[in-house]
């Protein structure tokens, strides 16, 4: 590819390092702004905000270490993140005692799925959960012999597996694209997706706080507004247009479009997980990340953004070559 000698450190393009540097720059700016806000208006809201920013420092640092070490570490990290999200899901939903061992088995689908992604086995990656697990779960439950609550159990398990494990495993598939993925490699694509998805969450939140008036989904997520959504969409598209040509093979206008797509998909993932939590009567999916809630609360946007971005890349940008 067009990677010249010296542009690569340990198999990782130094473009990835520059992008990570830029993210830390943004984090420093955000920390300063929040510190000023906290001094001006001390209270619960700003304390919560600064707790969130502190958590961002931890999350971005963990992600950075995971992504720059090597691809195996990165994939294992993504798998672990998926495991925590799936575990939160299974812990929240009603489950049946008779399915206890099947749930243990379902966890083992995670390393298998991430192995297929790591090996870049597109066909297996695509069929393992939507076909094989989809058929296996109801079969195992049928053979276990308890029909009471069967539909609910098989439905919730299959959907949870899709929305967490299958959806999030697309991040590992991006990594597996390696140097086929252009100037910054698969890591560049992954960074583009994850950074923009998270940036969009923050941008939507900020625009919404500043100008939010008209609610989009009052019954699902009453704090989401059109102003926040459109502001986030615009900001994310602009940042994507700037970062895209640097991290991906896309030219400016395509990268901007990809950014808009990530913003819309991210928003949909966010409210979909909100609907799920609201149905169960919980506010947060867990308490692992101070100020943010659980892992599932943090990766909710990614559950939609990752598959949509991956398949759009696969189909339109690389014509099946990644």
Partner 1 sequence: MSRYLRIAFFAVIVRPILLIVLGMNLRGREHLPRQGPAIIVANHNSHLDTLTLLALFPLRDLPRLRPVAAADYFLTNKLLSWFALNIIGILPLDRGGIKKNPLADLEAALDRGEILILFPEGSRGEPEQRADFKRGVAFLAKARPHTPVHPVFMHGLGKALPKGSLILVPFNCDVIAGEPFKYEGGAPAFMETLEARMSALASEGHFQPWE
Considering beta carbons, is residue 98 or 257 the nearer one to partner 1? 98
Question: By the 8 A CB rule, do 148 and 164 touch?
Answer: no
Question: By the 8 A CB rule, do 292 and 49 touch?
Answer: no
Q: Is 214 in the site for partner 1 (CB under 8 A)?
A: no
- Map the footprint of partner 1 across residues 107-146, applying CB under 8 A: 107
Task: Report the alpha-carbon distance of residue 39 to residue 315 in Å, rounded.
Answer: 49
- Which residue from 102, 62, 90 is spatially nearest to 78, judged by alpha carbons? 62
Task: Report the alpha-carbon distance of residue 11 to residue 94 in Å, rounded.
Answer: 45
Residue 270 token pair: 């966010």
Q: Which of 28, 36, 62, 101 touches partner 1 by CB under 8 A?
A: 101
**Containing H/E element for 12?**
strand 12-13
- Map the footprint of partner 1 across residues 268-297, applying CB under 8 A: 280-282, 286-288, 294
Whole-number minimum distance, CB 122 to partner 1, in Å?
A: 29
Q: Which of 104, 143, 147, 320 touches partner 1 by CB under 8 A?
A: 104
Stretch that binds partner 1, among 79-87, 166-174, 186-194, 253-261 (CB under 8 A): 79-87
How many residues bind to partner 1 according to rule CB under 8 A?
25
Q: Which of 23, 77, 81, 87 touches partner 1 by CB under 8 A?
A: 87
Question: By the 8 A CB rule, do 248 and 281 touch?
Answer: no
What's the Cα-to-Cα distance from 269 to each of 197, 231, 263, 289, rounded to whole Å? 10, 17, 10, 19
Residue located via tokens 């008036």: 213
Q: Which of 61, 70, 91, 119 touches partner 1 by CB under 8 A?
A: 91
Within its chain, how far is the Cα of 190 from the centroid? 10
Whole-number minimum distance, CB 282 to partner 1, in Å?
A: 5
Whole-number minimum distance, CB 165 to partner 1, in Å?
A: 13
Whole-number minimum distance, CB 94 to partner 1, in Å?
A: 4
Q: Which of 92, 172, 173, 306 touches partner 1 by CB under 8 A?
A: 92
Task: Report the alpha-carbon distance of residue 148 to residue 317 in Å, rounded.
Answer: 47
Residues that bind partner 1 (CB under 8 A): 80, 83-84, 87-88, 90-97, 100-101, 103-104, 107, 280-282, 286-288, 294
């Amino acid at each position: 590819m067009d990677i010249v000698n010296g542009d690569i450190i340990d198999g990782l393009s130094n473009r990835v390092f520059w992008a990570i540097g830029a993210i830390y720059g943004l984090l420093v700016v955000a920390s300063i702004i929040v510190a000023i806000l906290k001094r001006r208006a001390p209270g619960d809201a700003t304390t919560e905000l600064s707790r969130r920013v502190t958590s961002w420092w931890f999350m971005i640092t963990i992600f950075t270490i995971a992504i720059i070490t090597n691809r195996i570490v990165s994939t294992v990290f993504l798998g672990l993140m998926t495991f925590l999200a799936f575990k939160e899901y299974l812990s929240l939903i009603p489950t049946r005692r008779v399915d206890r061992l099947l749930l243990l088995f379902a966890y083992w689908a995670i390393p298998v799925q991430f192995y297929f992604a790591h090996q870049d086995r597109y066909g297996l990656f695509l069929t393992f959960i939507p076909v094989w697990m989809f058929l296996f779960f109801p079969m195992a439950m049928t053979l276990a012999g308890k029909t009471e609550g069967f539909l609910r159990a098989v439905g919730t398990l299959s959907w949870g597996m899709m929305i967490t494990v299958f959806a999030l495993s697309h991040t590992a598939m991006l990594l597996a694209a390696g140097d086929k993925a252009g100037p910054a490699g698969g890591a560049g694509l992954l960074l583009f997706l994850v950074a923009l998805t998270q940036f969009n969450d923050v941008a939507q939140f900020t625009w919404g706080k500043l100008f939010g008036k008209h609610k989009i989904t009052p019954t699902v997520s009453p704090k989401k507004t059109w102003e926040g959504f459109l502001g986030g969409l615009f900001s994310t598209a602009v940042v994507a247009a700037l970062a895209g040509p640097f991290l991906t093979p896309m030219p400016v206008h395509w990268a901007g479009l990809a950014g808009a797509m990530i913003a819309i998909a991210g928003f949909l993932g966010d409210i979909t997980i909100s609907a799920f939590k609201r149905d169960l009567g919980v506010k947060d999916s867990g308490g692992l990340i101070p100020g943010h809630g659980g892992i599932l609360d943090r990766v909710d946007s990614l559950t939609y953004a990752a598959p949509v971005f991956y398949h759009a890349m696969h189909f339109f940008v690389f014509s099946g070559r990644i």
